[in-house]
Every structure is written in structure tokens, then in C-alpha cells.
Chains A and B, each alone.
Chain A
């Protein structure tokens, strides 16, 4: 069950229940028990009925009926408004990582 359709489908899974939501709530909106039950129910149906790998079922839910493209656009946005900020953040992160590495605290 997930919301990053391209990543899951590239990786390839036996069965995939896709909900077209912002990353974070792949099994239904917070507080919406009815929707969560519907999505879990679709997963159970697929578990029972799929007959081939890479079977994707998209659930019928939309995040925002009025402005459903806004979250898509804003997530990991790169445009002229933040290009310099992103470049600076990258430089800062690399220099922090170099410091950690120099102190011998790097990952395995």
C-alpha cells in the first residue's frame, strides 16, 4: 500500500494498492476511519484476487477536490524562487557531512 506510484512500480511488487495522496498517509486520511477501512478492504480484495505480479489498483480517493494539484506542485519544488536556497542548503549539508566524516563518525 503506498502513494509513490512510480517508485513502487519501478521496483516491482506482487500487488500494489495505490492512493494518490501526498506522501505520509498511504492508508487513508488522518481521522477518516471510513476511508481507511475502504482502502484496507481494497488491499484485502487484491490479496485474494490478483493472479499476476505487478497488479496495481488505484483507490478512488482524491486528496483535495478543489485544488488537487497544489500539493503535487509544492512538494520538492524547484523553481526560480528557491534555486539559490537549495544550492546553499546542499553546500551546507555537504560541509556538515565532511565535518562528521573527519571526526570519524560516518555511517558504515
Chain B
């Protein structure tokens, strides 16, 4: 097979795209993305087949029936809810994703609750927690790091999780 050659990186730079897009809308200050020099890391301290995993989404919990109500700052609170109550779908119409090219009518295309439960049934993981956790997209670094992250950690400790998978839309 011939080697494919390209003049640009293949993956989309959303940082570049959003800077240009909002610049074109007349916003003078580009959004400041989070950058961390130091990144934490921990290995699992027991076999994955004994671990309880949790999932974190950026979707809202409200059901799609409420799709007409606009999400405002007051509803952008981190939350924990039962996975069983997410099976009908989560609310993410107000979030920023590619609505022209795809849809979110299948929960497992953005929050793999059913797929991880299957892995639990097969014994690949110990279990998926009964609750999942939500951090609706918020453009405040301060709220994300000082309010949301500690709240998610608290949920994870309450549910005695061994690992958490973050799945932003």
C-alpha cells in the first residue's frame, strides 16, 4: 500500500478551530485551555477483575423530555445518579459536539454503561458502580478544579471505586 503523505496533522485541532471560530464572531480574547505540566498517575493496586469502575460524563442528567429548557449556570452542578436511570439517554443537546455529522441517541456511544456491564458479566472487571457521575461542561477553570473535581472524588470514595473513566462528549 502506498504511503499516505499529508501537509497537516490528521486529527482536528479543536483549540485552533475554536480560537478561529470565536475570533470570527468578534470575541477578542481567545479561550484559555487548561494545561498541566504535571499529570498524576496511579497503577491499579489489584487485578482489574476485582475492581469497581465508575464513569463520568459531561452530559446533564435531565431526561430528553426537558429538551426545550435551556441549561443555565444553576444546573451546571456535578451530580451522581443511578446508571439504571441513564439507560433512556442523557441530556446533551446544549453541549458542544458535532450535531451535523452524528447524534447521541445511543447512550453507549458516549457513556458505555451497557458495554462495561457486559465486561463485568464476563469477569473482565469486578463491577461497574451502580451510580455514574456528571460534570456538565462549564467554561470556568475555577469551578471545574475547586468545586467539581473534589465533588467527583467524594462520589468516588463514597462508592468505593478503584478507577474512574472520564468521558467528555
Contact = CB atoms under 8 A, between A and B. Distances in A.
Contact of B39 (A13, A27, A43): A13
Interface string A47-82: 110111110000000010000000110111010000
A14 B39 contact: yes
Contacts of B109: 24-25, 27-32, 36
B68 interface: no
Interface residues of B, number: 59
A24 B98 contact: yes
B24 A7 contact: no
B17 A30 contact: no
B66 interface: no
A98 interface: no
Interface stretch (B5-13, B79-87, B150-158): B5-13
Contact of A86 (B25, B37, B110): B25
Contacts of B105: 30
Given A4-B12, A11-B35, 5 more contacts: A22-B98, A27-B108, A28-B109, A54-B39, A90-B27
Interface of A: 1-2, 4-8, 10-14, 18, 20-33, 36-37, 39-41, 43-44, 47-48, 50-54, 63, 71-72, 74-76, 78, 83, 86-87, 89-91, 93-94, 107-108
Interface in B14-30: 14-18, 20-22, 24-27
B48 A26 contact: no
B130 interface: no
A23 B169 contact: yes
A54 B40 CA distance: 9
Contacts of A24: 97-99, 101-104, 109-110, 169
A40 B21 contact: no
Contacts of A53: 39-41
B34 interface: yes
A51 B108 contact: no
A61 to B, nearest CB: 12
Given A83-B24, A107-B73, A48 B102 contact: no
A91 B23 CA distance: 12
Given A2-B167, A23-B97, A75-B98, A93 B104 contact: no
Given A36-B112, A36-B115, A47-B44, A93 B101 contact: no
